[in-house]
């Protein structure tokens, strides 16, 4: 009498009646409890949506009647607000108590909207990557001579004519081309195989930065520490596959993932030598992200490899054997999302502390959302993601701005107007006789 349908109720679901429904969406997102722990880490949280909101919006679509105006509007907005502006850094997974990788889900959506023709072209690019890489280096060199204003106008026009998610915007911070030849190295004495990532084979140092290229610096400082490295002659045409993985191009991703593992297995004599990679997102790609896309045979080869980020190589193998001859007064570091996944942000700080009297890790350091080329496709994403960190960095001068991932460095250059370089370049300089 006092609580009709509450104390005694024939409905077995009575405890759920009146509560918000949780329709099933994608299997990876279904365990989401909408707690929001993932929100502060998300680089798009001030621009468009957070990981929680990306999942909540999918649930709301499923609650709507088929073809309803609300469902239509949600679908229209979801392309940009959720899928395009996801940096794919998956730091949401690190924060999520049930391990949901909303970034991986957004990449699945990117894959789903590719036409078979787009997938074929992406796979073709992977198969002929040696030519693509050479052409990219030439194009970057030519672009450097053309001037930023003209390129900004040309790419701006193309973006309007095609789609902003396909045509990158030219940014004045994009550096000139890397030297055509990698430094000469010798295999017999080498204690590690050095794999210069394709971004470091295409892009050179920031404009106006004197001194050696990153590959020259890594080779020199490793030899100086008595730990010489060898660069295989046939690295051109290989890559960590992140270019295809991050855009959801599955066929291209499979081609390159298998190619790099087969090549690395040969270079390292079946895993006898470690493979040192000089860009943290590429280290993450080769060490972990390629695995689900490998053939069974190549998965066995991959298990025998030791893939080291250049920061781990520097901190563990080089620092104990080197002497700092000239240190700068202050350095600020930018730990990348890949370093957080790899667990080597401490090594970045260690290398920076070797090179500078004072090292600052910004309180608001987070993913820069440059994400390979996403920062060129959607510059507003990097601008929003880096706003707080950039404000902290530009509040005072620093003698050095250090990271270890070329594209993130370009993103941070743009955000701060400063010049970020790999910590290994700083290490070479600090220990130069
Ligand atoms: S942290 Fe995980 S469970 Fe919580 S809202 Fe984000 S995705 Fe959902
Ligand atoms: S991958 Fe990055 S941008 Fe995408 S939802 Fe996760 S934290 Fe946000």
Task: With a cut of 70, say whether residue 202 has pLDDT above it.
Answer: yes
Measure CA 301 to chain center: 24
* pLDDT, tens digit, 9 for 90 and up, residues 30-56: 999 999 999 999 999 999 999 999 999
Q: How much of the chain is helix, strand and coil, in % rounded to 5?
A: 50, 5, 40
pLDDT of residue 153: 55
User: Which strands make up the sheet holding 420-422, listed edge to edge?
Assistant: 356-360, 328-333, 400-403, 420-422
The answer to whether the Cα torsion of 84, 88, 91, 94 is positive or negative is positive
Number of the ligand closest to the Cα of 48: 2
What is the SS3 string spanning 260-311? HHHHHHHHCCCCCCCEEECCHHHHHHHHHHCHHHCCHHHHHHHHCCCEEEHH
Q: How many angstroms separate the CA atoms of 319 and 44, rounded?
A: 36
- Rounded to the nearest angstrom, the distance between the alpha carbon of 365 and the centre of ligand 2 is 15
What pLDDT, on the 0 to 100 scale, is given for residue 167? 46
pLDDT at 14: 79
Mean pLDDT along residues 229-249: 89
pLDDT digits (tens, 9 = 90+) for 92-135: 999 999 999 999 999 999 888 888 888 888 888 888 888 877 77
Q: Quick one: residue 47, left, alpha or beta (phi over 0 = left, psi -120 to 50 = alpha)?
A: alpha
Centre of ligand 2 from the C-alpha of residue 29, in Å: 13
The larger pLDDT score, comparing residue 211 to residue 427, is at: 427
Element (H, E) at 377: helix 374-377
pLDDT at site 166:
46
Distance CA 356, CA 399 (A): 9
Ligand nearest to the backbone CA of 82: 2
Kindly indicate the confidence band of residue 401, based on its pLDDT and cuts at 50, 70 and 90.
Answer: very high
Structural domains of the chain sorted by starting position, each given as residue range(s) with its CATH number in brackets: 14-112 (1.10.1060.10), 130-313 (no CATH), 320-431 (3.40.50)
Residue-wise pLDDT tens digits, 52-81: 999 999 999 999 999 999 999 999 999 999
Check pocket membership of 34 for ligand 1, CB cut-off 6 A.
Answer: yes
CA distance 181 to 201: 9
Percent of the chain scored above 70 by pLDDT? 91
DSSP 17-68: TTSPP-----TTTTT-----TTTTT-TTTTTS--HHHHHHHHHHHHHSPTT-
Q: What are phi and psi of 386, to 5 degrees?
A: -100, 0
Residue 371, pLDDT above cutoff 80: no
Give the model's pLDDT for residue 111: 87
User: How many angstroms does the Cα of residue 104 sit away from the middle of ligand 1?
Assistant: 14
Confidence of residue 159 (pLDDT cuts 50, 70, 90): very low
Ligand found nearest the CA of 40:
2
- The protein residue whose alpha carbon is closest to atom 2 in ligand 1 is 96
Q: Beta 307-309 vs 328-333: how paired, if at all?
A: unpaired
| pLDDT over 60 at 361, yes or no | yes
- What Rg, from alpha-carbon coordinates, does the chain have? 24
pLDDT of residue 155: 53
Read off the pLDDT of each residue in 345-353 and give the average, rounded to a whole number: 98
Cα–ligand 2 centroid distance for 245 (angstroms): 15
Give the mean pLDDT of the chain: 89
Contact 42, 5 (CB under 8 A): no
**Does ligand 1 have an atom closer than 6 angstroms to the CB of 36?**
yes
- Contact yes or no for 279/249 (Cβ under 8 A): no
The pLDDT confidence band at residue 192, using thresholds 50, 70 and 90, is very high
The rounded distance, in Å, linking the Cα atoms of 361 and 333 is 6
Gap between the Cα atoms of 372 and 239, Å rounded: 13
**Is residue 367 a contact partner of residue 91, using CB atoms and an 8 Å limit?**
yes
Q: How confident is the model at residue 146 (pLDDT cuts 50, 70, 90)?
A: low
Give the C-alpha separation, 28 to 104, whole Å: 9
DSSP strand E in 318-399: where? 328-333, 356-360
Considering only residues 106 and 139, tell me which one the structure prediction assigns the higher pLDDT: 106
């Amino acid at each position: 009498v006092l609580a009709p349908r509450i104390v005694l109720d024939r409905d077995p679901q009575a405890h759920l009646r009146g509560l918000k429904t949780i329709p099933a969406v994608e299997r990876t997102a279904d365990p989401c409890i909408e707690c929001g722990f993932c929100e502060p880490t998300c680089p798009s949280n001030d621009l468009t949506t957070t990981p929680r909101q990306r999942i909540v919006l999918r649930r709301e679509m499923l609650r709507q009647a088929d073809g309803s105006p609300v469902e239509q509007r949600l679908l229209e907005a979801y392309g940009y607000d959720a899928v395009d502006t996801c940096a794919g850094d998956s730091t949401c997974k690190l924060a999520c108590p049930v391990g949901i990788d909303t970034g991986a889900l957004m990449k699945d959506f990117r894959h789903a909207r590719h036409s078979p023709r787009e997938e074929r072209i992406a796979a073709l690019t992977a198969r002929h990557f040696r030519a693509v890489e050479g052409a990219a280096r030439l194009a970057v060199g030519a672009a450097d001579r053309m001037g930023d204003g003209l390129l900004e106008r040309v790419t701006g026009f193309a973006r309007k004519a095609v789609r902003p998610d396909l045509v990158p915007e030219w940014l004045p911070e994009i550096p000139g081309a890397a030297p055509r030849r990698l430094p000469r190295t010798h295999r017999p004495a080498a204690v590690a195989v050095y794999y210069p990532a394709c971004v470091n084979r295409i892009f050179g140092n920031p404009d106006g930065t004197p001194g050696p290229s990153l590959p020259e610096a890594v080779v020199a400082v490793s030899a100086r520490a008595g730990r010489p490295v060898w660069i295989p002659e046939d690295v051109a045409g290989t890559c960590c596959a992140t270019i295809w993985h991050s855009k959801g191009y599955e066929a291209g991703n499979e081609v390159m993932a298998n190619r790099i593992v087969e090549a690395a297995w040969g270079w390292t004599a079946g895993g006898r030598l470690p493979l040192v990679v000089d860009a943290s997102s590429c280290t993450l790609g080769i060490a972990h992200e390629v695995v689900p896309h490998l053939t069974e045979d190549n998965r066995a080869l991959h298990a025998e490899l030791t893939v080291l980020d250049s920061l781990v190589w520097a901190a563990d193998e080089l620092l104990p054997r080197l002497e700092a001859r000239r240190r700068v007064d202050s350095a600020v570091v930018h730990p990348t999302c890949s370093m957080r996944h790899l667990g080597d942000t401490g090594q970045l700080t260690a290398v920076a502390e070797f090179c500078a009297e004072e090292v600052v890790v910004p309180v608001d350091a987070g993913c820069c959302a440059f994400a390979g080329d996403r920062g060129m496709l959607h510059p507003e994403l990097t601008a929003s993601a880096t706003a707080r960190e950039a404000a902290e960095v530009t509040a005072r001068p620093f003698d050095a701005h250090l990271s270890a991932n070329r594209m993130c460095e370009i993103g941070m250059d743009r955000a701060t107007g400063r010049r970020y370089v790999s910590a290994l370049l700083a290490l070479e300089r600090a220990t130069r006789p």
